[in-house]
Amino acid sequence: MKEFCSNRPYDCMNNEMVTGHLLNTFLYEFYLEVEDFFYSRGFQKAEFEYCEQLGCLEEGVSVKNSKYKITRVFPKKNEYFVAFGSVNRNSGVYFSRSLAEEQAAEKCSVLPRAGNKLSSKARRAIEKGETSIWNLKLNFYKKHSLMYVEYLSRIDALDQKENSLANECWLLYKTKKIIFEPKEASR
């Protein structure tokens, strides 16, 4: 906020708060920094919850050569406040990256999140204790991609010392996903 206001002194109030007419611009620029942080950590894709149900812009379709590195579908610049849940702050962004076998063994359990359905063969394999999430993918979900996902619930969540990001593992095929708990949560 201080950096933004130092570059635009007439667009900020005395206590270094962005004026209402530039709030979306501030959030857009701040999101580019957040996206860059995740990109530098190896994440390959970012998805706004806001865009799952509403019409957003898409790189290569409605916009060309945007500043985003890993975000392909994104809100218009004048909708960033609403995209992050406006006053309620209840919309976030999913950052994901694909996992190799050793990364999957380190990060993902075979405990499916409540409400996620597995095939009966996959359930039996888990009950027998004979499998890892990588083996589930190879034996029962061959077409699925295995993704590690971190959820940023608020745009300022990275600044919060006590706020850890929610993480989970996804077996993903087109629009269908099966969510698994991370290793830390299963212990």
Q: Tens of pLDDT along 8-24?
A: 777 776 656 676 678 88
- Mark which of 94, 126, 153 sits at the end of a domain: 94
- Mark which of 94, 128, 146 sits at the end of a domain: 94
pLDDT of residue 130: 79
Looking at the fold, whether 80 and 110 belong to one and the same domain comes out as no
Domain that holds residue 67: 1-94
Looking at the fold, whether 157 and 173 belong to one and the same domain comes out as yes
**What distance in Å separates the CA atoms of residue 156 and residue 85, rounded to the nearest whole number?**
12
Q: Which is more confident, 163 or 99?
A: 99
* Residue 53 burial class via C-beta count within 10 angstroms: exposed 0-12, middle 13-18, buried 19 and up: exposed
Q: Which is more confident, 54 or 66?
A: 66
Looking at the fold, whether 3 and 90 belong to one and the same domain comes out as yes
Looking at the fold, whether 56 and 125 belong to one and the same domain comes out as no
Looking at the fold, whether 3 and 32 belong to one and the same domain comes out as yes
Count how many domains the chain has: 2
- Mark which of 42, 69, 94 sits at the end of a domain: 94
Looking at the fold, whether 138 and 163 belong to one and the same domain comes out as yes
The whole-model pTM stands at: 0.84
